[in-house]
């Protein structure tokens, strides 16, 4: 800055760059649009995959929006805002990440046109906020309620989920829509995998204060390369990627009473530094005998409460292993804390932090604990738990890429099912709600005075761009498709959308099993609006210069290290 009389005043640190006004706004919009363009082609069931290669050379091939933005090393601050938005949508509803980023990009692209007409960013932001609020109201109007009261009977064991046809169909269609764009969407195994996802979600659903809560953290997904996706199975219990610690221990225990111990089965070294002076071999023998006695006492205590399986979060000494094997107790060591907690919920046991405090009431129960060979590795299966509150999906596949993609697909399906149970309302998929909302928003815009109505109409146009992208990935003509859909919606067919798999427009997407939970659509609209308005509010970018550190290298030469 230059003050009066031409005297320079230094406000910012040397090397700091500053972009402000319309230039800053346009730079941000360009960066956000660029990220949206990358994700555009991944939208929909026929969306194309991205191959992401990290700095270590590891390859990820996926069309999952959340994975793409997480793996990309985005540098621009505005684009990073969109990445954070995608992560937030993924954390909240587990689906709709690609749509959220693409919609935010389109909102900014439409805003750019309005900025060229000298409309102030504040007016655009207000218009977008009103449009988003109205869009959520329209979603509630066009949504259909799903009756999930049948879950009570299923949870009580009075009926199988397939007996509740209406509920099962709604859950099936939601999972089908989510998985239809994934690698595992092959007709021969699709039904089987969806059934696994539905049963897993129902198993971890609880009713509290009249509302259903789905705890997806209680579903453990274990991957093991080998066999095929058709060999994936649901285990009503927990599968541990571990093996029995001692060859003398049983490999199979029926009617297992399981001790869950968060304490080492070994003599720990004291925290304080101590020296022991030994003057004779007799003293060494006594020292070792005392150590053995302590370990034997620990094992005797475990055996005395009736435990025949020990799952230990910490280490098990070789001597303790020997005594456990002699007692016929199966033991597993160094199990993760998260797995210990799932075991607690599955078996009904309680994690104890002191072996002295272990009682019979702390033991969990399972009909079967067995070490089995899965592929080239050994795994521990803890099955037949009484009404387990935690389950495991064991995914099999021909290679790492397939099992990793299957895991991501299962995560999306589980989240979609949870969303439906959490808020039992559905809308048709295939771009149907976007066209319906866009049409109603244009009518709503006419009721708003001033320039804000232009922002509301721009919001409607941005929503229609989602349908345009869907048409493009399906190989259809985007303009003809949107015009045809507008006509059908004007005729009152609110579920008319694009059947991407068959490349045509249909009157009722719900009839061909393409539906979405309303909660996902709401989250996408709100998140995309918030991201777009946050970027539109920025009119000044002040970037500090990278830190430089000088250091003397070998031979007295100066070496420079730069840190981002």
Map 105-141 to HEC letters: HHHHHHHHHHHHCCCCHHHHHHHHHHHHHHHHHHHHH
**67, 97, 178, 473: which one is catalytic?**
97
Active site includes 160? no
The continuous run of DSSP H or E covering 201 comes out as: helix 187-203
Q: Give 207-242 pLDDT, tens digit per residue.
A: 888 788 888 889 999 999 888 888 999 999 999 999
d(Cα 339, Cα 258) in Å, to the nearest integer?
A: 14
Structure tokens at 295: 């370990």
Residue 103: C-alpha distances to residues 33, 305, 429, 507 (Å): 10, 60, 16, 24
Q: Give 500-532 pLDDT, tens digit per residue.
A: 888 888 888 888 888 888 999 999 999 999 999
**41, 67, 98, 178: which one is catalytic?**
98
Active site includes 480? no
Q: How confident is the model at residue 256 (pLDDT cuts 50, 70, 90)?
A: very high
d(Cα 427, Cα 514) in Å, to the nearest integer?
A: 9
Nearest to 292 by CA among 320, 253, 264, 258: 320
Q: Give 277-294 pLDDT, tens digit per residue.
A: 778 888 778 877 888 888
pTM: 0.78
Q: How is 518-547 classified by DSSP, letter by letter?
A: HHHHHHHHHHHHHHHHHHHT--EEEEPPPE
d(Cα 261, Cα 353) in Å, to the nearest integer?
A: 6
Q: Give 466-502 pLDDT, tens digit per residue.
A: 999 999 888 888 899 999 999 999 998 888 999 888 8
List of domains in the chain: 12-144+427-542 (1.10.560.10), 157-236+397-423 (3.30.260.10), 241-387 (3.50.7.10)
**60, 64, 392, 529: which one is catalytic?**
64
Q: How confident is the model at residue 553 (pLDDT cuts 50, 70, 90)?
A: very low
**317, 412, 461, 516: which one is catalytic?**
412
Residues of the chain with pLDDT > 90: what percent? 38
Q: Give 327-365 pLDDT, tens digit per residue.
A: 999 999 999 999 999 999 999 999 999 898 899 999 999
d(Cα 488, Cα 302) in Å, to the nearest integer?
A: 71
Instruction: Count Cα atoms within 13 angstroms, Cβ side, for 345.
Output: 21
Q: Which segment of 42-46, 113-117, 121-125 scores lowest on mean pLDDT?
A: 42-46
d(Cα 85, Cα 91) in Å, to the nearest integer?
A: 10
Q: How confident is the model at residue 549 (pLDDT cuts 50, 70, 90)?
A: low
Structure tokens at 386: 């009484």
**Could you tell me which residues come within 8 angstroms of residue 51 by beta carbon, excluding any fewer than 6 positions away?**
59, 60, 61
Task: Give the count of beta carbons closer than 10 Å to the beta carbon of residue 286.
Answer: 12
Which SS3 state, helix, strand or coil, does residue 20 take?
strand
Active site includes 64? yes
């Amino acid at each position: 800055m230059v003050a009066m009389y031409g005297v320079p005043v230094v406000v910012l640190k040397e090397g700091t760059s500053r972009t402000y006004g319309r230039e800053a706004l346009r730079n941000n919009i360009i960066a956000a649009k660029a990220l949206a363009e990358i994700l555009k082609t991944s939208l929909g069931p026929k969306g194309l995959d991205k191959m992401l290669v990290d700095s270590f050379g590891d390859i990820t091939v996926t069309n999952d929006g959340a994975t793409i933005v997480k793996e990309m090393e985005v540098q621009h601050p505005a684009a990073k805002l969109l990445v954070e938005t995608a992560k937030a949508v993924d954390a909240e509803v587990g689906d709709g990440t690609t749509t959220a980023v693409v919609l935010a990009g389109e909102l900014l692209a439409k805003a750019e046109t309005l900025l060229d007409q000298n409309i102030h960013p504040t007016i655009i932001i207000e218009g977008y906020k009103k449009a988003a609020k109205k869009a959520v109201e329209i979603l509630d109007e066009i949504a259909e309620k799903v009756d999930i009261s049948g879950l009570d009977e299923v949870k009580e064991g009075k009926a199988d989920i397939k007996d509740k046809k209406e509920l099962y169909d709604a859950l099936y269609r939601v999972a089908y829509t989510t998985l239809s764009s994934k690698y595992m969407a092959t007709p021969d195994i699709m039904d089987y995998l969806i059934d696994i996802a539905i049963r897993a979600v129902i198993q971890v659903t609880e009713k509290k204060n009249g509302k259903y809560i789905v705890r997806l953290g209680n579903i453990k997904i274990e991957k093991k390369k080998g066999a095929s996706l058709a060999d994936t199975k649901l285990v009503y219990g927990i599968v541990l990627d571990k093996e029995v610690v001692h060859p003398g221990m049983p490999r199979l225990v029926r009617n297992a009473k399981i001790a869950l111990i968060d304490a080492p089965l070994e003599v720990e070294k004291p925290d304080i530094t101590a020296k022991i002076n030994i003057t004779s071999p007799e003293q060494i023998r006594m020292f070792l005998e005392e150590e053995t006695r302590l370990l034997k006492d620990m094992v005797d205590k475990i055996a005395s409460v009736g435990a025949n399986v020990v799952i230990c979060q910490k280490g098990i000494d070789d001597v303790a292993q020997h005594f456990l094997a002699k007692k016929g107790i199966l033991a597993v060591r160094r199990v993760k804390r998260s797995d210990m907690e799932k075991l607690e919920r599955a078996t009904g046991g309680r994690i104890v932090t002191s072996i002295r405090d272990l009682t019979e009431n702390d033991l969990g129960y399972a009909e079967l604990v067995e070490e089995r060979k899965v592929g080239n590795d050994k795994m521990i299966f803890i099955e037949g738990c009484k009404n387990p509150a935690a389950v495991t999906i064991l995914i099999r596949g021909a290679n790492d890429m397939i099992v990793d993609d299957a895991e991501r697909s299962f995560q999306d399906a589980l989240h979609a099912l949870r969303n439906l149970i959490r808020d039992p309302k559905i809308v048709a998929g295939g771009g149907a709600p976007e066209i319906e909302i866009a049409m109603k928003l244009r009518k709503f815009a006419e009721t708003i005075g001033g320039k804000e109505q232009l922002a509301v109409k721009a919001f409607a146009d941005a929503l229609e761009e989602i349908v345009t992208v869907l048409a493009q990935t399906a190989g259809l003509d985007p303009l003809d498709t949107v015009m045809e859909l507008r006509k059908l919606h004007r005729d009152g067919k609110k579920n008319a959308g694009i059947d991407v798999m068959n490349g045509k427009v249909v009157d009722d997407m719900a009839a061909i099993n393409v539906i979405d939970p309303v909660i996902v659509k709401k989250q996408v609209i709100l998140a995309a609006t918030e991201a777009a308005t946050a970027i539109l509010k920025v009119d000044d970018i002040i970037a500090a210069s990278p830190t430089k550190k000088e250091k003397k290298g070998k031979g007295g030469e100066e070496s420079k290290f730069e840190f981002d």
